[in-house]
Structure 1
């Protein structure tokens, strides 16, 4: 049975954090020569320097992480559903989903199941299983229920599933080829764009032919045949409690997975703050212990006043490190810390700017000048917006951890697909 605190393993499928390090200005190819730099050799050196900093290979952020459009209707939308015919059967069978806790307690299971949609797709050449050194090729899908709000507008419920599909090396190589051909067919430009609703369907939304064809590619490679894991983020309380847990299919049944750093089967986060610009009334449970934790910030930020500066500095350092995929991965970080790191950082930046933590901990903050790491989320400051990848109501919600990890994934794919130099 699922423990009393329903939930989901935070699988970084959502990454988070804000990029504060300054990036060099881009040098345009049609830029006029600067005064005194008419020497062709000097101009060539300027160009080569620019290319070295902003070298854009074939794969960028929006080529490895795909945010779907918010559909224009609930019933007639064209986004992928639970029973969409994928590899070997349904994409995520209802029989599996029914073994999970219901995502939102004020909705029936059939209501949630019928409105679950794939709101994001991620491809990953090296998910750290069974070990970081011997990793899996994967497709991962982020699901959210959709509904009509009081204004008759489509929005999402603040709950999610995250399903995983393992590919063999040759299958992943073929997937990359098909995506490249799709991108070329629709003349999709992703170069140095921040992660956002994918430009291929940003205008036509779920009526986009490019979206329809992309989803066919995903259905070819993902389905019950290679389904390997699902995580759940469920909404409880007054919309101010979230619980997390992860599951693996074994013999047709879903079995709970231990949460990293805790060795527990579920974890929760409560934040009753009104307005949602601080933390109040709960925090993380159970709390992770040891280094790289920010339990005080996430519990009662009002207590983090004068005299607590050292604690704030150390805890925001932990949040910066948690959002940096070079320090942590989904197999060694607990769910809530992963999801709440971003609002914890922004609380410090907004409420205690005099501490200048982005300068103090610049070495802990992820940076990658090849990609645009700007966060396009609408309410990045909102301490109740802990979505990793998808939507918060009607608004795009992307954690910086997802952006940072997308950059790492793009780097990896660019390395393995780069033409080999002749010796």
Structure 2
């Protein structure tokens, strides 16, 4: 591989703010559904069977996160070809439209279609926004590049967490309110959907005006002949990202269904997800602060997997809100360390273009979320296996902790290698 690279163009304050707002809105649109999804399923399916509803909730969540398995890679590759800005705008507009359509779904089948399309358009935002940051922030081989890019990746993750914090809280509050809207109007659960849809349109406008149409001054020539498909350690990172996402998906759906099982109500569920988000936000603020260097942060992955396994294992034994809030904090703190660190290191060591690479990683994460969400819904659908959803996820996290013990060795050389950026990406990007 031969690389010639000039200095990157630093991201502007407005441009970075626009991509952070995009991540926030997409996370809000996802999280806002979780507290109201049980009521929507019961209303559209006309069923009060807990086992049937649990399976539908798990499958609906899986449908949303399964779409990016294919779409994320395509969006990432497309953003390499035509630029980051148009892909982000198209994704946000499509997300807004499909979110509003899901709120008005007249049947369970239409809700499934809406959630699949909603997830497909959401898949355009995450990898493309991260690719924009990777394009514009310094990388390995530049002064302070590792620190700047690590912090920017951390901000992206924190923006998503903030959206996930607002989403379930807003959805839970809306579900508790009683509106006399009339038989011909949308149900009360639709109100947060429309709000998130409007915010997505505003974010699309912000992206269009804040992001530049081109990224001048950064060029690279890359020859990939004879290079392997994956860089050393990259495949292991992708597998770990998939496993971590599966555990998180099982945790989210399992927590929703555990809340129904204990009849705590949507407001309590919103509080638990809010706690989850606040803890993640605080942990990532520390891990991605100047106090922790990127090279040292990777050492936290294995302990975080182990702590996450312990938290998941004890969740099915808890029934009180205070106890569950503590376990939720443990799981969310661990997940807040694992996910963004793996995203950073995949971007750091791969030789592929940023859009394609982050699209591949997003697809891997979506696959894990889909499998974890569906498995949790199916296991909760059987009375004798309800706790198994958390236990299976805990076992997977334990195995991931063992597998991640060898991460420092393959990742260490990456700190001294220059990150290549394809010329076609920098000409058309952003």
- The normalised TM-score by structure 1 is 0.27
Structure showing greater Rg: 1
More strand by share: 1
Please give the TM-score of this superposition, normalised by the length of structure 2. 0.27
The structure that is helix-richer by fraction is 2
